[in-house]
């Protein structure tokens, strides 16, 4: 008789394209999000937490780098035939929420939201299928003042979390200007929609692919380092030159850039309107005191998503970092957004103007760590060691006293037989202090308080002569335990 096959054990590994977050990853992110929320709240935006799951129909054909609505998302079909998917950004769900609850919401409606999004895309170095976004949007006004305000708020947000002025720049463009350029280049009309989408995504990759890579995508296509081929827009060399000229339109000052853009869109009504909107936003920002040291007009910014209809903007960090290959590069984009006046219309049949911005939380957090502007380590809890299993209630009373005073503390809950392992545990937890009370200490009414931070420094850097007069362990009466712990923690 054949032996029954054993069920194989599942592999303990994170799914491809995903990651686990531990300790400071979580707490540093929460601290940063709190600072961002503070700025958004100060600007008058209200918090919103929408469903992580939407119908594929509600998400629509607005996924990056794809042409089919059910590609690029994690989707499944319900028993009733409906297709559902995890949200791939925060904007498409907002359109559904506003359309559904518009009679109960103020107009305009200003909201911010924070949370994970999911994209079923090819993972790569630093490119995950789940990541955090932090968005702020204004729905219900066509005023360019809303766009100017979003850019000003983004500038304030970057500085609030620790990005110094001079280490970032917010770039503004207008999709109407680009549409005007494409009209001049012969890409107008519904029959050219696919080509326009390819052109938009190609320009959006200028920083990563360079001009040669973008030009390849404007013509027949491009093969990447892995051998994957991306189909191009099929433009003639002359039409590709028009688009490339647009990308090279930036001049030394904002007014000079606007003048050059006006030349490029000459003869296009939509392009001329886009240039006028850029001028209005620039004037508003100037009145608010946000000059070219923080915000500039840059024609190379187009944003990859297909739902933008007007102004678009991107926040770029300009300081140098080392990439995976050890090369010195600028950190790059951490936030972007724009105007999307047609997104809510899909639900209501009526045009509802809207504009907003999305911050890439994980990238911004990485930037803060790369420049030591956020703590990369978190102090662990005070650890009360266990010298006598039968006196667990006494040890729990100690941590209760510490916690009541606002001090993070815990009792060692592993096997207490080996005291050395308890200290190793405290070290692994990053604990600043270990408290020891054996039978002898209990009889005398004292506790031993071990300064683990000083002890570690002594072990690493000092000789015996240097530290012999600097004790790292203290014996104090039990009723003075809390005072001594506070004294050590406040040093």
Same structural domain, 308 and 332: yes
Residue 234 included in any domain? yes
Which of 350, 370, 390 corresponds to the end of one domain?
370
Please list, residue by residue across 347-371, b when 16 or more beta carbons sit within 10 angstroms of its beta carbon and e when fewer do.
beeeebbbbbbbbbbbbbbbbbeeb
Same structural domain, 363 and 218: yes
Same structural domain, 411 and 308: no
Percent of the chain residues topping a pLDDT of 70: 90
Residue 481 included in any domain? yes
pTM for the full predicted model? 0.80
Residue 199 included in any domain? yes
Residue 16 included in any domain? no
Residue pair 489/433 in contact (Cβ under 8 Å)? The answer is yes
CB neighbourhood size of 141 (10 A): 17
Same structural domain, 352 and 415: no
User: Rounded to whole angstroms, how far apart are CA atoms 265 and 358?
Assistant: 29
Same structural domain, 283 and 386: no
Per-residue pLDDT for 143 more than 60?
yes
Q: What pLDDT, on the 0 to 100 scale, is given for residue 366?
A: 86
Tokens standing for 415?
Answer: 């096997």
Higher pLDDT, 478 or 333: 478
Same structural domain, 343 and 422: no
User: Rounded to whole angstroms, how far apart are CA atoms 365 and 373?
Assistant: 9
Same structural domain, 203 and 242: yes
Interval 89-112 mean pLDDT:
95
Report which of 341, 215, 355, 337 is spatially closest to residue 270, judged by C-alpha positions: 341
Residue 6 included in any domain? no
Residue pair 110/45 in contact (Cβ under 8 Å)? The answer is yes
Same structural domain, 321 and 414: no
Residue pair 248/154 in contact (Cβ under 8 Å)? The answer is no
pLDDT tier for residue 30 given thresholds of 50, 70 and 90: very high
pLDDT tier for residue 2 given thresholds of 50, 70 and 90: low
Q: What is the pLDDT of residues 14-27, one digit of tens each?
A: 999 999 998 888 99
Per-residue pLDDT for 271 more than 60?
yes
Report which of 50, 69, 43 is spatially closest to residue 58, judged by C-alpha positions: 69
Report which of 200, 76, 157 is spatially closest to residue 364, judged by C-alpha positions: 157
User: Rounded to whole angstroms, how far apart are CA atoms 211 and 247?
Assistant: 9
Per-residue pLDDT for 322 more than 70?
no
Interval 89-107 mean pLDDT:
94
Interval 388-396 mean pLDDT:
94
pLDDT tier for residue 458 given thresholds of 50, 70 and 90: low
Q: Which helix (H) or strand (E) holds 461?
A: helix 452-461
* C-alpha separations of 297 from 171, 184, 279, 292 in Å: 6, 21, 9, 9
Q: Residue 481: which residues within 8 A CB-CB, separation 6 or more?
A: 398, 401, 435, 447, 449
Q: Containing domain of residue 39, as a range?
A: 23-370
pLDDT tier for residue 403 given thresholds of 50, 70 and 90: very high
What are 476's strand-pairing partners? 447
Same structural domain, 259 and 388: no
Structurally, how many domains does the chain consist of?
2
In a 3-state reduction of DSSP, which class is residue 202? helix
Q: What pLDDT, on the 0 to 100 scale, is given for residue 464?
A: 45
Q: What is the pLDDT of residues 35-54, one digit of tens each?
A: 999 999 999 999 999 999 99
Which of 307, 335, 370 corresponds to the end of one domain?
370
User: Rounded to whole angstroms, how far apart are CA atoms 352 and 411?
Assistant: 57
Measure CA 147 to chain center: 21
What are 45's strand-pairing partners? none
pLDDT tier for residue 68 given thresholds of 50, 70 and 90: very low
Token pair 């991107």 is at which residue? Answer: 314
User: Rounded to whole angstroms, how far apart are CA atoms 125 and 294?
Assistant: 30
Interval 331-349 mean pLDDT:
89
Which of 331, 347, 370 corresponds to the end of one domain?
370
The CATH number of the domain where 386 resides is what? 3.40.50.800
Residue pair 167/370 in contact (Cβ under 8 Å)? The answer is no
Residue 37 included in any domain? yes
The CATH number of the domain where 125 resides is what? 3.30.930.10
User: Rounded to whole angstroms, how far apart are CA atoms 338 and 174?
Assistant: 8
Residue 2 included in any domain? no
Same structural domain, 43 and 111: yes
Same structural domain, 290 and 334: yes
pLDDT tier for residue 118 given thresholds of 50, 70 and 90: very high
Q: What is the pLDDT of residues 177-209, one digit of tens each?
A: 988 988 887 787 777 777 877 887 787 777 778
Residue 15 included in any domain? no
Tell me the chain's radius of gyration from C-alpha atoms: 29
Per-residue pLDDT for 306 more than 70?
no
Q: Which helix (H) or strand (E) holds 443?
A: helix 439-444
Pure H helices in 135-268: 144-161, 175-184, 193-204, 206-218, 237-247, 254-264
Higher pLDDT, 179 or 339: 339
Q: Which helix (H) or strand (E) holds 172?
A: strand 168-174
User: Rounded to whole angstroms, how far apart are CA atoms 140 and 101?
Assistant: 13
pLDDT tier for residue 469 given thresholds of 50, 70 and 90: low
Same structural domain, 399 and 257: no
């Amino acid at each position: 008789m054949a032996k029954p096959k054993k069920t194989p054990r599942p592999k303990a590994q994170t799914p491809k394209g995903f990651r686990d977050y531990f300790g400071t990853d979580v707490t540093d992110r929460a601290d940063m999000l709190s600072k961002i929320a503070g700025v958004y709240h100060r600007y008058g935006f209200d918090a919103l937490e929408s469903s992580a799951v939407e119908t594929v129909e509600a998400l629509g054909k607005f996924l990056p780098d794809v042409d089919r609505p059910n590609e690029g998302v994690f989707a499944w079909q319900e028993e009733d035939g409906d297709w559902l998917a995890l949200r791939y950004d925060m904007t498409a769900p907002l359109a559904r929420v506003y359309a559904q609850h518009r009679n109960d919401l103020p107009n305009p409606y200003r909201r911010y939201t924070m949370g994970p999004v999911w994209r079923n895309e090819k993972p790569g170095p630093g490119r995950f299928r789940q990541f955090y976004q932090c968005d702020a949007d204004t729905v219900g006004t066509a005023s360019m003042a809303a766009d100017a305000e979003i850019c000003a708020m983004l500038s304030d947000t970057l500085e609030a979390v620790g990005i110094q002025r001079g280490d970032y720049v917010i770039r503004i463009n207008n999709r109407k200007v680009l549409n005007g350029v494409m009209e001049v280049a012969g890409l107008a009309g519904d029959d050219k929609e696919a080509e326009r989408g390819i052109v938009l995504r190609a320009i959006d990759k200028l920083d990563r692919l360079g001009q040669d890579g973008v030009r390849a995508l404007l013509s027949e296509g491009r093969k990447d380092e892995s051998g994957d081929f991306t189909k191009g827009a099929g433009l003639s060399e002359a039409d590709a030159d028009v688009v490339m000229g647009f990308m090279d339109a930036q001049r030394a000052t904002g007014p000079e850039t606007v003048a050059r853009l006006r030349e490029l869109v000459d003869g296009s009504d939509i392009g001329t309107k886009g240039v006028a909107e850029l001028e209005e936003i620039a004037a508003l920002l100037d009145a608010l005191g946000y000059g070219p040291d923080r915000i500039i007009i840059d024609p190379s910014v187009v944003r990859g998503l297909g739902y933008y209809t007007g102004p678009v903007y991107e926040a770029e960090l300009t300081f140098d970092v080392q990439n995976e290959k050890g090369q010195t590069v600028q950190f790059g984009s951490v936030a972007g957004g724009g105007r999307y006046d047609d997104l809510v219309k899909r639900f209501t049949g009526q045009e509802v103007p809207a504009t907003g911005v999305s911050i890439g939380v994980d990238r911004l957090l990485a930037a803060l760590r790369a420049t030591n502007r956020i703590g990369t380590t978190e102090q662990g809890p005070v650890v009360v060691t266990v010298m006598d299993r039968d006196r667990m209630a006494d040890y729990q009373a100690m941590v209760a006293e510490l916690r009541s005073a606002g001090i993070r503390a815990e009792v060692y809950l592993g096997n207490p037989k080996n005291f050395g392992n308890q200290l190793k545990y405290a070290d692994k937890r990053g604990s600043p202090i270990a408290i020891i009370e054996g039978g002898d200490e209990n009889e005398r009414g004292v506790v031993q308080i071990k300064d683990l931070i000083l002890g570690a420094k002594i072990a690493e850097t000092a000789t015996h002569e240097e530290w012999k007069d600097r004790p790292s362990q203290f014996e104090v009466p039990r009723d003075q335990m809390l005072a001594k712990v506070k004294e050590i923690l406040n040093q």
